[in-house]
Each structure stands twice: as structure tokens, then as C-alpha cells.
A and B are shown apart, each in its own frame.
Chain A
Amino acid sequence: MEYGLDLEYSFNEFLKGFGLSSEIAHIIWLPLPMLLVLVAAVVGVLVTVWLERKISAAAQQRIGPEYAGALGVLQPIADGLKLLVKEDIIPAKADGILFTAGPILVLVPVILSWLIVPFGQNLLISNVGIGIFLWIALSSIQPIGLLMSGYASNNKYSLLGGLRAAAQSISYEIPLALSVLAIVLMTNSLSTIEIVNQQSGAGILSWNIWRQPVGFIVFWICALAECERLPFDLPEAEEELVAGYQTEYAGMKFALFYLGSYINLILSALLVSILYLGGWGFPIPVELIAKFLNLPINAPFIQVFTASIGILMTVLKAYLLVFIAILLRWTTPRVRIDQLLDLGWKFLLPISLANLLITAGLKLAFPQFFGG
């Protein structure tokens, strides 16, 4: 079932038309999708920051930003510019090298994980075979960066924040990986493309959320905890730890943390929509629409339509989840550290283990519904 646009092939053919060899065409092609995704991630962050400001204002019956551009849409750019030109301070007693390396180690794995986010059949940077496992592995690097910046700041609040972040990240990674494993079991593949294709049979009815409701909730809770969003934002709990591991940071280094946390939020939302909400799939299968319009599925119009609908659906689903995350942040209180660890180890871990076991059993009993 290989249909859809192959932009790389057409681009290479286009360059070969100018008499370039295929290798050079490939090298020219390589940075383009990466740049595109980087820009998409940063624009996504700007949109999310604006949404966060506006929705939090609505939740607290304020107006929120309104002078910078229409409805304050330029406010996040103003924020970014402010951070860009701020003085970069390294505290005198801090460890300069680790202090600088920390934020980089936090941001880079998050951006690398965008490698596997598909926006359509061929619309992703690299369809690596290990797919979703790459994301799980990369997200486990982040706590090192947090510990590093917590330690290097030479400040007890920072150290506590870093330790909390690492503990939280380790605890919630396990139920997260187990609920992903249940999906992988149903798909027979780790590739994100396969995971979406497996859900594309009957539109909204074949989405994984109906087959994995428990996994969906566990994954969402764990994803929020990994992003350190409010019900679980203990590492930077303002009232107890000033700002956790970010306390001593200013300017661009602080902006790296900020970017990292928002890119991570969008990435988590995208992955939830890929794993459980059918990815780029339209609620009604595109094949049905094509049949209704009496057009072959390979018609150029249908292909462009499918690709744009795919991108639109992925972004729409992801931003719906971002909206829920923002709403959760401004309406729920913070949990305590012991409650957080209890929830992770004593509740989510057994539930996700049972979910995996039941999924395996259902797969054997009803192979046509749960992937043979």
C-alpha cells in the first residue's frame, strides 16, 4: 500500500534535471527536511506559548496578552527576543563547563526525537526500523542534562530540582515504555509509519484509543510527567524550590530549557496522536472519499489532498492534546513527591503491566482485531 507523495524522489529528479549527480542531489536534499522540522518545532513552541498565555488568562478570568499584535500573537516572539538579548550569567561559584552543557543535553535529544514523527505516508525525516523505541531511548538521556545543570549551578534548590527531575523521569519511563509496548505488540512493528497504517482501516473506529483505553490514559499521564507539566512539575515547584534546576539560569541558556520543555510537550502530544489517535488519518478513510468522488486513489489531486489532510489532522490532534495539557496545568494542584512516586510505581506500573498482559491475551484470542 505504497501511495502518497514522495517528495525526496521528485526533488532528486528535479535536481538531476540540472545535470547534478544523484549523490550531490541527495546531499542537497538531506538538510531540507531537518530544517523544515526544526522550524516547525520552533513555530509550534511559539504557538503553544501564546496558547498557554491566552488559555491561562481565560482560566483565571483575565485578558492575557493583547497589545503585541492582534490578540497578542506576537507576545511569544517578544518573549524570545527578550531572552535572546539578555545577559548570559554564569554564577561565580558554578561549574562553567557543566553549567553550559546541561541545557544543551536537555534540548538535543528532544529535537532528535522529531526524526520519527510522521505527518504522512512519506512525510517524515527517517523511517527508521526501531521507530518509537528511538524516542524512548533518546528521552532517557534528558535526566543527565537535568542532573548536570542542577549540580553545576552549585545551589541546593537547583540540586534538589535536578534530583527530583531525574527520579521522576526514571519512574515514569517504565509505565510509558510498557504502554508503548502494548501498541507495538498489536502492530508487529516499532515503526511509527506501521503504527499509523495499522489504525487506518476504518477511520475513527480503528484508532488504537478504542482498543487501548487504559494504555492511552497511562501514556498520557506519563507523558505529562516526563514533560514536567503542572500536576507533576515538582522539579521546578516555585513555592518550594524557587525554580528547581533552572534557578541560576538566565538569557539564552534559560531559553534552551524553556524551548526544550515546550518542544517536548508538542512532541508528546504528537506521539499520543500517532500511537492512539490514528496519526495523520482522517476520521473517515480517504479511500472512501476517493470512491465517493469517483477518483482513483493515485490521482494527483487526491494525493495532494491526502497529504495536506494528513498534516492538518496530525497538527489538529496534537494541538487538541496540547490544549488539554494547558487546561490541566491551570486547573489542577501539584502532587507531592511521595504521591508522585506512589502513583508511578504502585499504580501506573502494575496497571500498564496488566494492560500488556491482557493485550497479549486478546491478540491471541482475537487476532483480527488486535493484530495477528
Chain B
Amino acid sequence: MSIAITTQFICFTILSLVILIGALGVVLLESIVYSAFLLGGVFMSVAGLYLLLNASFVAAAQVLVYVGAVNVLIIFAIMLVNKKEDLKPINDIKSRRIISTSICLTLLSLLIRVDLTNVWSLSSPENSIGEESTIRIGEHLFSDYLLPFEVASVLLLMAMIGAIVLARRDVMSKDISTGLPVNQELIEKSSEPLLTNKN
């Protein structure tokens, strides 16, 4: 075994272990903050796997989108809300756990089936495109995958407008479920200039 292959094997083992243990931690840990940070670690390790597969652009995009945007926003939201709330114990917690476990196991069996039926190996190692993948991804995004790409952006726009409508206090002054006036305490000061009110 040459040194390059040994290094690759060690990296793969470490990354897979981190992904598995991290993902279990995300699901099983009680503290939501730990879960959020572990999720970032899992995303990073997945990016590492992409890097091992010579897909450096996908790896960087994974870091930028999932770690830099999604995970930061999750953590941001957790910390901005930071509400001390006593959660009510759920009565039928056992049946819920059983249902969610069975759904997850079904998904897992689907993934295993995909893994077993798909032909993963390339016909020859020379067929891998490596660094050229950036150009290929760009070409695909602007030709045959144009519609899904644009639809995804429309989806994101809708989510953004929805978030703004929910967050603006002059738009939503009452709680949707209870109908009581909402006390929206902002951590930062409001965006009005401080001096105008004093005149």
C-alpha cells in the first residue's frame, strides 16, 4: 500500500467515525446548543469526504452553504431566542418514539437499497474530472438543471418573505395561536435613531 492510499484510508476512517458519532450526538443530546454545534461538525466532515473524492468545489460549497449559512443561522436563532421555557411532558412519548424510529429505519433501508443497487465505480479512473468539475457544474446549472435551480431560488425567496412577515412587529401584533398581544423583546435596540425621540 502506497503512502497516498494509506493517508486516504486513515482520513476516510476518521471522517466516517466523526460523521456517525456526531450525527448520533445531534439526535440524542439533550442540549439543543450542543446539537447545533455538532451538526456543524458533521457538515464539515461531509465536506472532508467530498474533498477525499476530489470534488473540491462541492466541498467548498458544502462548507459555505451548510456550515457558513445554514448552521450559523440555526445557532443564531437558538441564541437570539434563548428563552427559558419549561417544556410540558408529553403523554404518549413512547409511541411517538416508536413511530419516528420506524420512519427513520424505513429511510435507512431505502438508502441501503440505493447503495446496493447503484453501480458506484467509474469505468476507468481517467474518467474522473477532478478540478474541471467547477466548470461542469456551472454548465449544468445553466442548461439542463436551470429550472430546478431557479425554482429553488424562488422557494428561498418565499421563505425569506415569510420570515420577514413573521418577524416584523407592526405586521404581526397578535400571536397567531392565542390571539394575545405579542411582547417582542428585541435583544438589540430598535433601528430608530436614539436622538429623534428626545426632541
**A144-B72, A147-B75 known; A160 vs B187 contact (CB < 8 Å):** yes
- Please state if A170 and B79 are interface contacts (CB–CB under 8 Å): no
B32 to chain A, nearest CB (A): 11
**A23-B3, A129-B134 known; A147 vs B72 contact (CB < 8 Å):** yes
B107 to chain A, nearest CB (A): 28
Does any Cβ of B come within 8 Å of A27's Cβ?
Answer: yes
- Please state if B60 and A130 are interface contacts (CB–CB under 8 Å): yes
- Please state if A137 and B80 are interface contacts (CB–CB under 8 Å): no
Most A Cβ at <10 Å: residue of B44, B64, B80:
B64
Which chain A positions have C-beta within 8 A of B134? 129-130, 190
Which chain B positions have C-beta within 8 A of A98? 33, 37
- Please state if B60 and A133 are interface contacts (CB–CB under 8 Å): yes
Does any Cβ of B come within 8 Å of A204's Cβ?
Answer: no
- Please state if A159 and B63 are interface contacts (CB–CB under 8 Å): no
- Please state if B37 and A144 are interface contacts (CB–CB under 8 Å): yes
Does any Cβ of B come within 8 Å of A358's Cβ?
Answer: no
A170 CB contact (under 8 Å) in B33, B60, B72:
B72
Most A Cβ at <10 Å: residue of B3, B60, B80, B191:
B60
Which chain A positions have C-beta within 8 A of B44? 141
Does any Cβ of A come within 8 Å of B45's Cβ?
Answer: no
Which chain A positions have C-beta within 8 A of B73? 170
A27 CB contact (under 8 Å) in B3, B67, B131:
B3
Does any Cβ of B come within 8 Å of A308's Cβ?
Answer: no
Which chain B positions have C-beta within 8 A of A23? 2-3
B128 to chain A, nearest CB (A): 13
Which chain B positions have C-beta within 8 A of A159? 79, 82
List A139-153 residues whose CB lies under 8 Å from chain B: 140-141, 143-144, 147-148, 150-151
Which chain A positions have C-beta within 8 A of B2? 23
Considering only CB atoms, which chain A residue lies closest to B191 in the complex?
A338
List A207-237 residues whose CB lies under 8 Å from chain B: none
A159 to chain B, nearest CB (A): 6
Q: How far is the CA of A170 from the CA of B70 in the complex (A)?
A: 11
Which chain B positions have C-beta within 8 A of A51? none
Does any Cβ of A come within 8 Å of B185's Cβ?
Answer: no
Does any Cβ of A come within 8 Å of B76's Cβ?
Answer: yes
If over half of B's interface residues share one DSSP class (helix, strand or loop), that class is named, otherwise mixed; here it is: helix
**A144-B40, A148-B37, A162-B79 known; A129 vs B56 contact (CB < 8 Å):** yes
Which chain A positions have C-beta within 8 A of B33? 98, 151
Does any Cβ of B come within 8 Å of A166's Cβ?
Answer: yes
A144 to chain B, nearest CB (A): 6
Most B Cβ at <10 Å: residue of A137, A159, A166, A338:
A137
Does any Cβ of B come within 8 Å of A248's Cβ?
Answer: no
- Please state if A163 and B60 are interface contacts (CB–CB under 8 Å): no
Does any Cβ of A come within 8 Å of B182's Cβ?
Answer: no
Considering only CB atoms, which chain B residue lies closest to A109 in the complex?
B63
Considering only CB atoms, which chain A residue lies closest to B73 in the complex?
A170
Which chain A positions have C-beta within 8 A of B72? 140, 143-144, 147, 166, 170
B52 to chain A, nearest CB (A): 14
- Please state if B60 and A137 are interface contacts (CB–CB under 8 Å): yes
Task: List, sorted by A's number, 7 A–B pairs whose CB atoms are closer than 8 Å.
Answer: A27-B3, A98-B37, A134-B60, A137-B63, A141-B44, A166-B75, A170-B72
A residues sitting closer than 8 Å to B (CB atoms) are 23, 27, 98, 128-130, 133-134, 136-138, 140-141, 143-144, 147-148, 150-151, 159-160, 162-164, 166-167, 170, 173, 190, 337-338
